[in-house]
Structures are given as structure tokens and as C-alpha cells.
């Protein structure tokens, strides 16, 4: 019988950026409530961040079943009572699972009246997804987040139409060679999409390896 822990995937960059991300989240997140992580990938961020952000609850999600299996395996390996099982969610979906009247089984223990979703966290997604994923993220964030709710983005960005480092330019070329719909996004364009959805840019933080943390508020 296969060991379910073998489903765990590993992203080396996670080890480098999880500490700095935590420090920003501790500054910007509301003190209570539920955090929805969109595009959780391997699940390593979830198992690191969730226990350090108590009493907040953390819902991981990903559209890829292999990623969800990895998240579930990491959750089993590093159990914490405020981290929920992963749910299937694609940022481009017109309605997300957390908005539906009948919630996924994994979320039926959450009292969203007591612990509403007050923040959406999205780490390293919009550059390895079609632009429509960014549009969907902003659209649903507007619908889901309460006034004062936080949308947190992390990743590489162009600024003023230009790359901030040669390494980011090379990374952008590799992404677009892999999929023409991918690529490092221009921060001004991302902010414009957010503002069109009534999400205000609060602050940007310079992060390691030429990345940014970008904070929006509903």
C-alpha cells in the first residue's frame, strides 16, 4: 500500500521566502477570522504559516488534484488544528467553492458567521497563470472580502513597465517560452485591475530575491 505522505511535493523557494512572508502577514492581516489561500501549490506555505497565525483559520486550495494531494499529505505530516483540508478552486471560476450555499465537505465545520473570510492570500500565482486568473482573483476578492478585508499577493513584478532585476527578465523569458499566456506582470496593471474592483493598494513590501508583497484592502 502506498504511503500517502509520498504525495508531498517540495518547492525549494518556499524555504527561502516563508519567513519574510510571515513577517508581512503578521503586520497586515486582521487579528481573527479565516484566511483563504488561493493556489496553495505544494502546501508548504500552508503548513508553515497556519500554526504561526493562530487564532486565524487557514483554508488551502488549488485547481490541480496533484497539488491538493501534496497539501493533504503535508497537512497529515504537520497537523495543526487551524489548517483545513484543501479544496478545489480555480481563480477563474465564476463562483468559488467558499461562496456556494452547499460548502465542500472539508469546510462544513467552519462557522463563517463567527470566522468569516477576512483575507485572501495568493503566493506566486499570477505570473504562472493566464491573465484571466488575475482578473478572476480580483473579481472574487471583491465579492468575498468584507470591508477592510485584505488581499495579499506575493511574487515578481515589473514596475513602470520594466523588470526590477536581470534575473526577473530571464525568468520572464523562461515563463513565456513555457506558456505564452504566462509572464511577470506589471504592477501598475495589477493595481489598475484591483482598483476597478474597488480594492485599494495599501502598501508594497520589498522582499528577498527581487519579489514584492503587495497589499490590497477591500
CATH number at residue 181: 3.40.50.150
Beta strands in the chain (DSSP E): 34-37, 57-59, 117-123, 150-155, 157-158, 185-186, 200-207, 211-217
> What pLDDT does residue 10 have?
77
- 61-81 pLDDT, tens digit per residue, is 999 999 999 999 999 999 999
Contact 29, 55 (CB under 8 A): no
Question: How many domains does one find in the chain?
Answer: 1
- 104-132 pLDDT, tens digit per residue, is 888 888 888 999 999 999 999 999 999 99
Average confidence (pLDDT) over 141-165: 96
- 164-179 pLDDT, tens digit per residue, is 999 999 999 999 999 9
Q: In Å, how far are 8, 38, 88, 199 from 78, measured between CA atoms? A: 11, 20, 21, 34
Total-model pTM: 0.95
- Residue matched to cell numbers 483563504: 36
- Residue matched to cell numbers 525549494: 12
- Find the domain containing 14 and state its range: 4-217
> What pLDDT does residue 101 have?
83
4: pLDDT strictly greater than 70: no
> What pLDDT does residue 1 have?
42
Q: What angle do CA 203, 61, 136 make, to 5 degrees?
A: 60
Amino acid at each position: 500500500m502506498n504511503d500517502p505522505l509520498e504525495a508531498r511535493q517540495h518547492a525549494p523557494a518556499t524555504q527561502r521566502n516563508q519567513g519574510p512572508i510571515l513577517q508581512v502577514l503578521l503586520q497586515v492581516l486582521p487579528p481573527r477570522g479565516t484566511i483563504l489561500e488561493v493556489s496553495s501549490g505544494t502546501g508548504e506555505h500552508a503548513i508553515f504559516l497556519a500554526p504561526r497565525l493562530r487564532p486565524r483559520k487557514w483554508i488551502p486550495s488549488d485547481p490541480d488534484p496533484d497539488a491538493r494531494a501534496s497539501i493533504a499529505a503535508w497537512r497529515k505530516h504537520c497537523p495543526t488544528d487551524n489548517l483545513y483540508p484543501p479544496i478545489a478552486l480555480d481563480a477563474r471560476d465564476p463562483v468559488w467553492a467558499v461562496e456556494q450555499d452547499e460548502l465542500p465537505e472539508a469546510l462544513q465545520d467552519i462557522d463563517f458567521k463567527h470566522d468569516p473570510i477576512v483575507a485572501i492570500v495568493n503566493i506566486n500565482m499570477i505570473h504562472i497563470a493566464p491573465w484571466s486568473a488575475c482578473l478572476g482573483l480580483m473579481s472574487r476578492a471583491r465579492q468575498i472580502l468584507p470591508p477592510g478585508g485584505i488581499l495579499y499577493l506575493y511574487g515578481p513584478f515589473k514596475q513602470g513597465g520594466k523588470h526590477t532585476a536581470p534575473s526577473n527578465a530571464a525568468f520572464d523569458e523562461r515563463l513565456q517560452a513555457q506558456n505564452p499566456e504566462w509572464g511577470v506582470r506589471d504592477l501598475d496593471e495589477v493595481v489598475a485591475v484591483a482598483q476597478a474592483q474597488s480594492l485599494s493598494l495599501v502598501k508594497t513590501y520589498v522582499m528577498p530575491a527581487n519579489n514584492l508583497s503587495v497589499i490590497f484592502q477591500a
